[in-house]
Chain A
């Protein structure tokens, strides 16, 4: 009990009741932060509370959030996937190449998702098949996948996507609700159900808390992990379709550095970077917070570096506050 605070990853295991409360407070905290940022932005800029402006702002985070849902599951299971941004680049390059051959929109979507799945399979096989650490494997494939698109494209760009393809990144389902935002909401529900309401979700938590115990409890660890890497690959493919459609072109530098923004989103959402805990609502809130901060600061023409500093501080405080709060509680209890 006394050494519990030294390794936070064990807390949910041993102190189920308190662990649940801490998680709850984590999301409440995020919700408070999100509301505060929303109000702050509304007061600071007369342009913030405009449905169309807010709709435009959602594009700042929707694509990253799609990947963040799958990434959350991977991180909860105790692994990480740093190759997602490079999968976007490779999938986009493949789609761009296909466009030059005259392929139409449905086939382009299939190619985007297909390349994502293939990349996810490569990661999954190396990690679960050969038992290599995921951080090493995905740092490797991060260079590999983007390297391939650099070989294909060099300093060139693929353009000329069909008109109908533009809908994924620029189209609206109803009124101000873009296709991307609708997809974001749908995926949030799907991943929320998958993680919190299914046996698969329980298995993910079990693996993240204690892989050996999970294995001996009959959880098929390798299979679950393989599926998780397939999912991040698939989501990266999906994000690639949306981003490529939004940009209307492909360059090998597309989505450069996004893997860290996705991981930031997940960790800000309260997912333990060491695995074992975290929720989808937390990630949704984190996505909204990051999107609103970026947009709100943009409206005030605050230089981008200030935004990075703000997100960094937010990240540290959101992680530090529950731990500090828990310590304070324990001290009071004694």
Chain B
């Protein structure tokens, strides 16, 4: 590996931070979902970087499973978004405040 691991880790941290910021400030449920995907991808990048630098294929195998879990999560999450939209005609998180009781 010629690029130092720290470069990839810093890139992953910045991507994770942007994703977390997006989840905190955006109101559209779908865009919040995309920001969650961004955070998952940042973690994947860090896993592959560590896998390469520690000469262990376990990190890459973990990324493989993270991809599967992310696909399942998106399927269920978008199903929930569709179900909510049927009732509320809205994909804005603030409109679901009555879930809090």
Tell me whether A and B are bound partners: no
**Which A residues are closer than 8 A to B by beta carbons?**
none
